Amino acid sequence: MKICIYGAGSIGCYLGGRLVAADYDINFIVRPKIQQELQTYGLTVSDYTGFKQTITANKLKMSIDPNVAADADIILVCVKSASTELVAFELKDILKKKTIIISFQNGLSNVGILKRILIDHTILEGMVPFNVAALGNGRFHQGTDGALYVKSHEQLAELVLAFQKAKLEIQLEQDMQAVQWAKLLLNLNNSINALSQLPLKQELSIREYRQCLALAQLETLNLLKIAKIKPAKLTPIPAQFIPKILKLPNVVFKIISKKMLVIDPLARSSMADDLMAGRKTEIDWINGEVVNLARQLNLTAPINQKLIELVKQAESEPKVWTGIKLKAQLTQL
């Protein structure tokens, strides 16, 4: 089985690194900056349980040339959502055989883009539930728990075995729409975390930030109910009850969240990383999905729309929002 990671950012480097650490032969298609970093420092993958392994640069197969993917049996697409169409056209021109392509990307629209362009290949939805922080010098750290999800398919037995050998739990699921919406409900915190510029654990310890997340989630849950979409249960507590828990006083939330959230102090959202690095965020593929659903229902999503506006402002003019000020922005809508 030839596996290729297309897009070696935080998720791509982490998943690929875990597979290489388990003695699998992985090809990475990377940006020049990441290639230089990994050639200098190697690739270190670690997690909140204490696992840590470094793969030396000479054991990494990296290239900036998409043609590396030409003979792949399975391609894990891990690029930012804005690059999905470009990647699809690149793959269309080079793939030499029918290939299974799994989108491990944020949002819900990437698989549709891949299917529209790569009509001769099998395109499957994937979902990464946990947070991966890029710590610099080739280090990528999993800061929260959860199992990978992939759309069920008869030809995935060997890939499932590979992830199990890499000690990454993976589940095959038929209803990936329910899984993706459940993940997106959790990812609505990415914008709030990015605006706070705090580590996830610290941000979620502040009630006003949690209340902002609850507002965004409640708006989304109401739209999902109207659309007759029931999100999957990814956490011990069902999605519809999480906003109530988020609103609880800090002392009570801390007790209850011990069973709901496993987060180490290093974890932060990828959107926060993007803002700090001056990169464009994936806000349109997270909160933007909620606004798109509202439009399809001839409704509006003012809370999520406001978060989009604030993040896009922060992309050009960086600003840190306190929980009190952010809550005031959202509650006046």
Last residue of one domain, picked from the residues 174, 200, 228: 174
Tell whether 147 and 225 lie within a shared domain.
no
The answer on 186 and 89 residing in a single domain is no
Please tell me the predicted confidence (pLDDT) of residue 237.
Answer: 85
| Same domain membership, residue 287 and residue 169 | no
| Residues 158 and 15 reside in one and the same domain | yes
237 with 282, same domain: the answer is yes
**Confidence band (pLDDT; 50, 70, 90) for 23?**
very high
Same domain, 155 and 254: no
Answer yes or no: is pLDDT of 144 > 90: no
pLDDT in tens, 206-235: 999 999 999 999 999 999 999 999 999 988
- Residue that finishes a domain, picked among 129, 145, 174: 174
- Tens digit of pLDDT for each residue in 279-324? 999 999 999 999 999 999 999 999 999 999 999 999 999 999 999 9
User: Which CATH number covers residue 156?
Assistant: 3.40.50.720
- 87-111 confidence digits (pLDDT tens): 999 999 999 889 999 999 999 999 9
Q: Do 18 and 163 fall into the same domain?
A: yes
Q: What is the pLDDT of residue 267?
A: 81
**Arithmetic mean of pLDDT, 249-277:** 83
Q: What is the mean pLDDT of residues 134-141?
A: 94
- Tell whether 157 and 186 lie within a shared domain: no
Domain tally for the chain? Answer: 2
Burial 222-251 (b: 16+ CB within 10 A, else e): ebbeeeeebbbebbebebbebbebbbbeee
Query: Is 228 found in the same domain as 81?
Result: no
How far is the C-alpha of 233 from the C-alpha of 237, rounded, in Å?
7
Q: Is the pLDDT confidence value at 115 over 70?
A: yes
Residue 149: strand, helix, or coil: strand
CATH of the domain at 317: 1.10.1040.10
pLDDT tens digits along 37-90: 999 999 999 999 999 999 999 999 999 999 999 999 999 999 999 999 999 999
Q: How far is CA 45 from CA 2, 103, 158, 192, in A?
A: 21, 21, 22, 26
Q: What is the pLDDT of residue 245?
A: 94
The model's pTM: 0.93
Among the three residues 114, 139, 174, which one is the final residue of a domain in this structure?
A: 174
Q: CB neighbours (10 Å) of residue 145?
A: 17
- Residue 28 — very low, low, confident or very high, per pLDDT cuts 50/70/90? very high
Whether the per-residue pLDDT at 259 is higher than 70: the answer is no
Same domain assignment for residues 66 and 106? yes
**pLDDT of amino acid 174:** 96
Long-range contacts of 233-238 (CB under 8 A, 24+ apart): 233/182, 234/129, 234/146, 234/179, 234/182, 234/183, 234/186, 235/186, 235/260, 235/261, 236/260
Q: For residue 228, what are the domain limits?
A: 177-332
* Alpha-carbon torsion (216, 76, 263, 239), positive or negative: positive
| Average of per-residue pLDDT values in the chain | 94
Mean pLDDT on 182-186: 96
| pLDDT (0 to 100) of residue 260 | 60
- C-alpha to C-alpha distance for 140 and 258, rounded to whole angstroms: 24
Structure tokens at 307: 């978060």
For residues 113 and 126, state if they share a domain: yes
Examine the domain organization and report whether 90 and 219 are in the same domain.
no
In our burial notation (b when 16+ CB lie closer than 10 A, e otherwise), range 8-46 reads bbbbbbbbbbbbbbbebebbbbbeeebbebbeeebbbbb
Q: For position 262, what pLDDT does the model report?
A: 67
